Structure 1
Amino acid sequence: AGPSLLEFRYAYLASGIAGVLSLVVALSVLRGDKVQEKGRGLKEAYRKFTSGIKEVISDRNVVITSAMEGLQNLTVGALEAFLPIYAVTVAGLNEFQAGLLWGVQVIVTILSKPVMGKTSDRHGRKSLISVGIVLCAVSFGAIPLLQSFYSLMLAAIIFGLGESFVTSSSAALVADICKEKHFGTAMGTFGTIFDIGHATGPILAGFLLASHSYLFSFWVMSALLLLATPVFVLTVTVNNPKGNTP
Structure 2
Amino acid sequence: MSHRQVLEALSGLLLGMFVSILAGTVVSTSLPKIIADLKGDQTAYTWVVVATLLATTVTTPIWGKLSDLFNRKLLIQLALAIFVIGSALAGFSQDTTMLIGFRVLQGVGAGGLTALSQVIMADIISPRERGKYMGIFGAIMAIGTVGGPLIGGLLTDSVGWRWNFYVGVPFAILAIILLQVTLHLPKRPKAKVSIDYLGAVLIAAGVSILLIWVSLAGQQGQFAWASATSFWMVAGAAVALIAAVLVELKVKDPVIPMRLFKNRTFTFSVIASISVGVAMFGTSVFLGQYMQLARGATPTQSGLLTLPMIAGLLVSSVVIGQIISRTGKWKAFMVVGSVLLIVGLVLMGTIDYDTDYVVLSVYMFVLGCGVGMVMQNLVLVVQNVVAPAEMGVASSAVTFFRSLGGTAGVSVLGSILGTQVADHLADKGAELTAAIMKLGPSGLEIAKSLKAGTIPSVSSLPESIRVIVESAYGESVAFVFLVAVPLAVVTLVAVCLLPNNRLGSKTTIERLAEENAAAGSGIDSESVIAAAAAEVIDDAEALIAAEPLESAEAIADAHGARRADSESGEHPSL
- TM surpasses 0.5: yes
Distance in 1 (CA, whole Å) between partners of 2:380 and 2:407 is 22
Could you tell which deviates more after superposition, 133-142 or 7-16?
7-16
- 1 CA distance for matches of 2:388 and 2:504? 17
SS in 1 for 2:254: helix
**2:393 corresponds to:** 185
Alpha carbons of 1:150 and 1:30: their partners in 2 closer, same or farther (altered >3 Å)? same
Mapped to 2, the partners of 1:51 and 1:210 lie a distance apart of 36
- The equivalent residue for 1:41 is 192
Aligned partner of 2:289 in structure 1 is 85
Is residue 482 of structure 2 the alignment partner of residue 219 of structure 1? Answer: yes
* Aligned counterpart in structure 2 of residue 7 of structure 1, from 148, 156, 172: 156
Checking the alignment, whether the CA contact within 8 Å between 2:276 and 2:491 is kept in structure 1 is no
Structure-2 residue corresponding to 1:28: 177
CA distance in 2, matches of 1:64, 1:138: 21
Q: Residue 168 of structure 2 corresponds to which residue in structure 1?
A: 19
- Residue 30 to residue 160, structure 1, CA distance change in 2 (3 Å): same
Give the partner amino acid of 1:23: A
Deviation at residue 124 of structure 1 after TM alignment: 2.1
Q: Once the 2 structures are TM-superposed, how far is the Cα of residue 201 of structure 1 from its aligned partner?
A: 2.5
Q: Which SS does the other structure have where 1:49 is aligned?
A: coil
Distance 1:127 1:99, change over 3 A: same
Residues in 2 aligned to 1:225 and 1:198: alpha-carbon distance in whole angstroms = 12
Letter in 1 for 2:264: R
Tell me if 1:175 matches 2:383: yes
Matched, 1:65 2:269: yes
C-alpha distance in structure 2 between counterparts of 1:60 and 1:160, whole Å: 27
Kindly provide the amino acid, as one letter, of the partner of residue 133 in structure 1. Answer: S
Matched, 1:145 2:363: no
* Cα distance in 1, alignment partners of residues 33 and 419 from structure 2: 28
- CA drift of 1:117 comes to 1.1
In structure 1, distance between residues paired with 2:339 and 2:256: 32
> Residue 135 of structure 1 is aligned with which of 333, 337, 340?
340
Distance in 2 between the 1:202 and 1:82 partners? 9
Higher-Rg member (1/2): 2
Aligned equivalents of 1:41, 1:73: Cα separation in 2: 35
Letter in structure 2 aligned against 1:129: M
RMSD, aligned CA: 3.1
Question: Could you say if the C-alpha distance between residues 152 and 53 of structure 1 is closer, same or farther in structure 2, counting changes exceeding 3 Å?
Answer: same
For residue 297 of structure 2, the aligned residue among 94, 99, 107 is 94
Secondary structure of the structure 1 residue equivalent to 2:382 = helix
Asked if residue 157 in structure 1 is aligned to residue 362 in structure 2, the reply is: no
The whole-number CA distance in structure 2 between the counterparts of 1:196 and 1:65 is 14
| Cα pair 1:52 1:182 within 8 Å, conserved | no
1:54 lines up with 2:316 in the alignment: no
- Residue identity (%): 17
Q: Is the 8 A contact 2:349 2:480 kept in 1?
A: no
Q: Give the secondary-structure state (helix, strand or coil) at the position aligned to 2:399.
A: helix
Question: Does structure 2 retain, via aligned residues, the 8 Å contact 1:125–1:170?
Answer: no
After the TM superposition, which residues 224-235 of structure 1 pair with which residues of structure 2 at under 5 Å, given as runs? Answer: 224-233=487-496, 235=497
Secondary structure (helix, strand or coil) at the match of 1:177 reads coil
Question: Structure 1: how far apart are the matches of 2:410 and 2:481?
Answer: 11
Structure 2, gaps ≥5 residues long: 1-31, 38-154, 197-250, 421-475, 506-574
| Equivalent position amino acid for 1:16 in 2 | F
Alpha-carbon offset, residue 93 of structure 1: 4.4
Q: Paired residue for 2:222?
A: none
Superposed displacement of residue 180, structure 1:
1.8
Q: Which secondary structure does the structure 1 equivalent of 2:191 belong to?
A: coil
Higher relative contact order (CA 8 A, sep 6+): 1
Question: Retained in 1: the 8 A contact 2:156–2:163?
Answer: no
Change (3 A) 1:236 1:3: closer
Tell me how far apart the structure 1 counterparts of residues 384 and 273 of structure 2 sit (CA, whole Å).
15
Find the counterpart in structure 1 of residue 522 from structure 2: none
Do structure 1's residue 239 and structure 2's residue 501 form an aligned pair? Answer: yes
CA drift at 1:13:
4.3
Q: For residues 179-220 of structure 1, give each alpha carbon's deviation from its aligned partner in whole angstroms, at most 9, with x where no partner exists.
A: 222111110101111211222222121232244444443222
- Counterpart of 2:171, as a letter, is S
Structure-2 change in CA distance of 1:83 and 1:30 (3 Å): same
